[in-house]
Amino acid sequence: MRGFSHPGRTLAAGAAAVLLGVAGAAFDTAPAYAGDTYVEADPSTVHAGGRVAIRASCGDDNRSQATVESDAFGRLIVTPDQGILTGAVTVPGSKRPGRYPADLQCQNGNTATTTLTVTSTAHPTRGPDAGGGGTASASTGTGGPMFLVGGIAAIGVGVGIGLLALRRRRADGA
């Protein structure tokens, strides 16, 4: 029938869109604020004793190291890494909860500030005793790359099934 989408074509088009979106996200390495001076903390809210990654840019001077200072963690030197400045620091476990500015000072004179929120020390609790489950693993990794490969394989299988259904339908109609 004209005007209606074939299920195989819809499935193939949807799978292709998802695949392109995943591939695009995997290769997006441009800084969020290219050309600007900025500093950001990830996460921006952390428990006392937690680790924070710092990303920064000194505008046109990201080949030189810079300094990030905060009452939350002291002084951190951020160094060039693929066009941006990066570093990581642990907030002391004794740090009082509150909002702390983190100030970037660049060698070219540029400055920027962000805010890091520190919460009370995390007290881990034991989860329910639910057994190992079918996905339990002796490794400590998250399995992220394997999920990506599995997802891409599933999309490929879906596209293949859709194309096979389309081919059979054309063969039956001819």
Instruction: Identify the H or E element spanning 140.
Output: none
Cβ(104)–Cβ(39) under 8 Å? yes
Burial of residue 166 (number of CB atoms within 10 Å: 0-12, 13-18, 19+): middle
Tens digit of each residue's pLDDT (9 = 90 or more) over 24-52: 433 333 334 445 899 999 999 999 999 99
State the pTM of this model. Answer: 0.51
Burial of residue 105 (number of CB atoms within 10 Å: 0-12, 13-18, 19+): middle
Tens digit of each residue's pLDDT (9 = 90 or more) over 51-98: 999 999 998 888 999 999 999 999 999 999 999 999 999 999 999 999
Indicate the SS3 state at residue 16: helix
